[in-house]
Structure 1
Amino acid sequence: MTAAFLIRSPDEEDWREVRDLRLEMLADTPIAYLETLAAARKHDEAYWRRRARPRGDGSISVVAVHEDGRWIGTMAGVPGATGPVLVGVYVAPGYRGRRAGVTDALLGAVEDWARRFSDVLRLEVNELNTRARAAYEARGFVLTGATSPYPLDPPSLELEMIKRL
């Protein structure tokens, strides 16, 4: 099954969709993000409008919008101290996996952006998020051996992974 969807960047007028997808992400996989669902629910419209518009720091944000208008995924790339970093990764249940094509399309857009800065794309994944780690490995990411404490649950670790572009 290949889903019919469009990959595009959000803008300020998409603030409601940005908010709704973020809340969905945090409810679905809380260990994947550096924000809690409770904290995100407290943000006002002005916050979501700022989050939706382009940041102006060289980063990229892309979303997958199903042909029926539902937002089904998102990824972002931000400049990091050692090069581009993949962040904010989410694909809705029912659209995950190679057959749907959503993950690969979103990742392709971020990889195209990252190639402008480096031949390596980095990410961090929580050690307990085995589904995400497997998806990254299937797409060419490898563990570097570097770890850091996960700020919202310090006993668990964030594992650094890289992909050569």
Structure 2
Amino acid sequence: MSRSTLLIRTTREEDWQAVRALRLEMLRDTPLAYAETLEHALQVEEPAWRLRARRGETAGQTSVVAIEGARWVGHMGGYLPDAATGPVLVAVYVAPDRRGDQAGVARALLDEVERWARQFGSTLRLEVHEENPRARRFYEKLGFTLTGRSRRYELEPGGLELEMIKPLA
């Protein structure tokens, strides 16, 4: 797949079914990476999925997807908890068969989230679970570094969420 065949765009309310399907895929693939369980997501009803899909149209947050043909192959979100914290990267996912530098999906998604984040600050933050070394290496390759701050992961199996930060050019 070439990057030119990849559509990167924000989500809209009418995308709610695709947003749901992708979120369930994300939770099945890497349950430790998201602050939600698959069991919870399966119980979420349509109005809440519509709300989630509207994040791409809402001030102070974004929801960006990568689409190849009719298939959604990736997602990254961002939100602004407060002005002091600045923008935070969340809900990062790329389908297993679209991972890696050659595919370009992650880089394309991050480019779009960074474009959004520059409106709100000079850095982009994220949290990664200490037991997710693949994700940590991926973020380091994209320019994120550990800050030394962490917090408890609220779901089973527990552990720590490690904060990483990247300066925005």
State TM-score, norm by structure 2.
0.93
> What is the identity, as a one-letter code, of the residue corresponding to 2:105?
V
C-alpha deviation, 1:13, in angstroms: 1.0
- TM-aligned CA deviation for residue 154 of structure 1: 6.0
1:130-145 matches, within 5 Å, as: 130-145=133-148
Aligned length: 164
Aligned partner of residue 53 in structure 1, secondary structure? helix
1:12-161 aligned within 5 A: 12-54=13-55, 56-67=58-69, 69-81=70-82, 82-153=85-156, 155-161=158-164
Question: What's the CA shift string for 1:52-72, capped at 9, x where partnerless?
Answer: 1136342111100002x1000
Q: Which has more helix, going by share of residues?
A: 2
Aligned sequence identity (%): 57
> C-alpha displacement at 1:130, in angstroms?
0.8
Structure 1 unaligned runs (5+)?
none
Q: Give the Cα–Cα distance (whole angstroms) in 2 for the partners of residues 25 and 74 of structure 1.
A: 9
Q: 2-side partners of 1:113 and 1:48: how far apart?
A: 22
1:86-137 CA-to-partner distances (Å, cap 9, x unmatched) read: 0011000110111100000000000111111111100000011111111000
Q: Aligned-pair RMSD on alpha carbons?
A: 1.3
- Measured against aligned partners, the alpha-carbon deviations of 1:15-42 in whole angstroms (never above 9, x if no partner) come to 1100000000000000000000000001
SS at match of 2:19: helix
For residues 125 and 107 of structure 2, the distance between their equivalents in structure 1, rounded to whole angstroms, comes to 16
Match of 1:133, SS state, is: helix
Shift >6 Å, 4+ stretches: none
So what's the TM-score if we normalise by structure 1? Answer: 0.95
